[in-house]
Structures are given as structure tokens and as C-alpha cells.
Amino acid sequence: MELLLILLLCISHVFATPVQRPLISGEDLNWAAADCSSSINEDGLGNNTICIQQVWDPVIDGDINGAPLNNQFCGYMVPAGKNPVKLFFWLVMSETDPTKDPLVLWMNGGPGSSSLYGIFSQWGPRIINYDRKDQVEFKNNPFRMTEKLNWVFLEQPSGVGFSRGRRNVRDSMTAAIDISNFITTLFLPTTIFRRNDVQVSFAGREFHIAGESYAGHWVPAIGSYLVDKKKLRTINLKSLIVGNAWIDSALLGDATFKLLCGASPSLILPEPSPGATASNCTSMPHWISTCKAAINACRSGTGPCDTYYWDCNDAWSDGWGVKFGRNIYDATQDTNSQTEVNTFLKTKFTAFMNNRDRKTRFGVPRDIRWKLDDDPMYFRFQSSGDILRSFIPEVQDILNANIDILFYAGDQDLVCPFTLVKDQALSTVWTETDPDPSLGTKTARFRKCAARGESTYRILSSPSSPIYAHYIRAGHLTYVRVFGAGHMINENKPVEAKHMFENWIANRAMFQECDPGP
């Protein structure tokens, strides 16, 4: 079964005059001539080159992956720079009005996870049917995010999925430079996507950067870089959105204690043996202290950064999940569900993505092999200390630049639990002024609202889900707890995920300021 409807192919090298590499395709396809353009990079480091080729064959492609409702482009963009990279992306046009609707850039986490998981298992017009274990099959996604929004799924850093170029990326700030160059190129007036007979440019378009998990590093790093380099003069960035964000690992031990221990734990796990929870909770203060010491040693340069797992596993909620036999991404399920999905993705789906003819249609060189996760990249980020680095300073830079941030969290996640996401928000300090003189700043408002307790928080509701989330909003910062959702909130709460996302982008006034009380 073929996936691709419309192909975007970008040149693998950067030249003053674009040179087109010919496509190898089936004889039954009628390939249109590519539209090539180049522009001088604003940093004076060469040209940005992009070649767009649109292909959709109604006989071969039929209605796979959303046609004819969605026009889609995929391929490589090669932004210029000291170390040019080939970043693979997949763009899905809005079904409503792609010439006007906002654009969302989506990145999965890892570090080293392919964002094609985002389109094919989470947000895209058609997603994997996991009920079929014998083959890769897709089904319509009634909760797709592309009805009113343009979405681009980016495989990054270089080396993830089909992306290539800069070798051995080791940290989020290096990745942010490449992603920033990608974004800058995407919003150039000369970057044109042809939808039917309409030319679509994203120059000046409302823009949101989103992701989940380790995107708690990616997104703040990118946002801070865009602010610092004054690139927002040409990019209409409206908000940053991160689900179950991994921002500051030093807060996870205490957040785990709040989640699973105490007089009123937020989450109660089925025990593998009587008294297991009480025993673990008794040991938690020691485990947390040991973990924090290891993190501080890494951050200060006095200790290794690649052995934290042994010092922190007991103190962190995902370690609890493994001990208690739970799916660390969704505590309502046992480990079998997690294992089955991972096995399917890393065998049948990986083979599907690496089919030679399919890669040709994607515009991917035959020697590049797609993987769901890049393990060597994960270990590089681990040894460099990036995994243990706090990105709260970058979050603060973004808020101080008057850009909205949404941190949402499914409350059944054991990897980045909602208590961690909330504590990360509470640890953030920014200078936005509050009109209440007794508070002075939005930081003070956020903290006072949080201290009042969940029963006082504002609620999110939809016609099908009367109360599906609690939230706190103070100025540019919003935190949302989604009830019953896991690490990927759309997988078991798709209606709620769609409602929250679309309203955040199109109707942000729905998210009201929190009430700090007397």
C-alpha cells in the first residue's frame, strides 16, 4: 500500500544556481517539472535552496493518507549554513484554507525519535491501524489535526529518520540552529507550495512550534534561539506547545513522590506484591537525594553524565512503572501493550518505510535507512549532559519575549508525569507585569493560583467531554492537566486533544486567567 500523495524533493547540495537531481520513478507516473528557487542566507553563509515537485497519481495513490482532502508534500529542505543539513519533513495542508490557516511545526522527542510517528500514529489524516498485527494498514483518523491547520512534521536532529548532514549532533542548542534555519527557509516568500492551481506561501503566516516529551528541550531551545537572533522579525511566532515536557530532570524525583506517595497520591499503581508502594515510598527520600547529587555532579562537570540512570532509576516514575509492570507511557495499561506496539513499529513498520520503491517516492536516497529511534544519538545526548540540562532559563527567555507557552500533560504518564510538568511551570520566573499590585508579576499570580488547589483551577470541556482537564493560565504561561491521558494524549484522549489544540490556536481567549483568590 502506497503512502505518498504529493512529493516535495529538495536538492542534496547547496549552489548559487540550483541543480536538480533527477527523480527515479515508475513509468506510470507523470512527474511535473520541479520549481526551484534559491535565496541568500541572512547570515551570509551561502544559499538556501529548495525544489518542490508535486506528484499525485489517482490510480496509484487512491485515497491513501487522506487524498483528495489533503494535499501533502514530503522530502528534503537544505537550509544554508556552516554545516548544511538535509532535513526530511512531511507537510500536510489544511483541508479548510491552506492559504490562510495557521502552520504548526511538530517534533517528537527521544532524543532521536522520528517525527513521522507523529503523522502516522498521532495527528495525521490517516494513522496506523494497530488492530492489524500481520501487516501495515492505515485507517481514517476522525480526530486529525489537519482540518483547520497546516502541519509540518520535521525529522530532527540531523541523523534522525531520513534526515542527514551534520554528523554526531550532541545537544539541543546545536539542533536548534539547524531547525531555526529550516524555519527561516520555510517562511521565505520564495518557498512556494503548489496546491491545485493555487500557490501557497507561508511567509507571514501565524506559526506555532509544538512537540512532546524531549521536545521540552527542542522547543525552548528553538524559541530562545529565534528570540536571541532576532529572527522573529520575519517569523510570526504565536506560541510554543509541549506535551508532557522533559525540561528539568532535577525536579522529577520530588514530582514522582507527589505522584505516587504521601497521604493522597495522585496516581495509585496496582502493586506487584503487598506493601510494594509503601516500601518504595519509604526509600524515596534517599533515592531522590542520590539522584539529585548525580545530576548536580553532571551539571557542574565534577561527575559523569552518562551514568545517571543507575542513580535515578529508583527515584523516577518510569522506574516505578517498570518495577510495577506498567506501561510507562500509559499507567492504565500493563507492559505487554507497550511491547507489542514497539515490536510492530520496529519490525513491520520499519520495513514498510524502508521499501525501496517507497523511499524513491519519498525522494530518499536508497542508502539511507529509516529507524523509529536513533539509539546512538540518545547516548550522545546522554554523555554530553544535554538530557540532564535544565531548559527553564530558555522558557523564561521566551516568556519575557511575550510569546505564549502551553504545557499540557496527560496524567497517566510515568515518563514525564503531570506533577513534573506542573513543577517545571512553577519553577519558571518571568517579568510579565500583573495588573494586581499585590501580585506584581504573572509569576506570582501563577504560583498563588497553583497553591489554591485543583478544585479552584479552571476547566476545559467539550460537548462530548464535560470536564476533561484542569488548567492554570497567568499571562503568557498556561499549564493543563488532561485527565486519563497518557504520554501521547491523543492516543487515548483524541477528542480532547483535538479540542484543546484547535482552541488554543484559534480561540486562545477561551483559556482564561486564573483566579488567585483573596
Per-residue pLDDT at 243: 97
Cell for 53?
Answer: 515537485
Q: Torsion angle of alpha carbons 425, 426, 432, 435, nearest 10°?
A: 120
User: Is residue 141 classed as helix, strand or coil in its secondary structure?
Assistant: coil
Mean pLDDT score across all residues of the chain: 85
Banded pLDDT at 462 (limits 50, 70, 90): very high
Q: Are 250 and 385 in contact, with CB atoms under 8 Å apart?
A: no
Q: Are 144 and 123 in contact, with CB atoms under 8 Å apart?
A: yes
Per-residue pLDDT at 268: 93
Q: What is the pLDDT of residues 218-230, one digit of tens each?
A: 999 999 999 998 8
Q: What is the pLDDT of residues 281-322, one digit of tens each?
A: 999 999 999 999 999 999 999 999 999 989 999 999 999 999
Average pLDDT over residues 35-46: 40
Residues 6+ apart with CB under 8 A from 94: 101, 146, 147, 148, 149, 150
Q: Using CA atoms, how far apart are residues 374 and 110, in angstroms rounded to an integer?
A: 8
Banded pLDDT at 156 (limits 50, 70, 90): very high
Please tell me the pTM assigned to this model.
0.88
ω into residue 516 within 30 of 0, thus cis? no
Domain extents for the chain? 63-426+477-489
Q: Using CA atoms, how far apart are residues 329 and 285, in angstroms rounded to an integer?
A: 24
Look up residue 480 and give its amino acid. Answer: V
Cell for 488?
Answer: 501521547
Banded pLDDT at 496 (limits 50, 70, 90): very high
User: Is residue 386 classed as helix, strand or coil in its secondary structure?
Assistant: coil
Query: Which CATH number applies to 63-426+477-489: 3.40.47.40, 3.40.50.1820, 2.60.40.10, 3.40.50.720?
Result: 3.40.50.1820
User: Is residue 317 classed as helix, strand or coil in its secondary structure?
Assistant: helix
| CB-CB neighbours of 411 under 10 Å | 22
Q: Are 72 and 91 in contact, with CB atoms under 8 Å apart?
A: yes
- Phi, psi torsion values for 359, nearest 5 degrees: -65, -35
Per-residue pLDDT at 233: 86
Q: Is the pLDDT of residue 14 over 70?
A: no
Banded pLDDT at 195 (limits 50, 70, 90): low
Phi-psi sector, 30: left (phi>0), alpha (psi -120 to 50), beta: beta
Q: What is the pLDDT of residues 355-405, one digit of tens each?
A: 887 777 777 888 999 999 999 999 999 999 999 999 999 999 999 999 999
pLDDT: which is higher, 36 or 232: 232
Q: Using CA atoms, how far apart are residues 86 and 166, in angstroms rounded to an integer?
A: 9
Q: Is the pLDDT of residue 202 over 70?
A: yes
Banded pLDDT at 6 (limits 50, 70, 90): very low
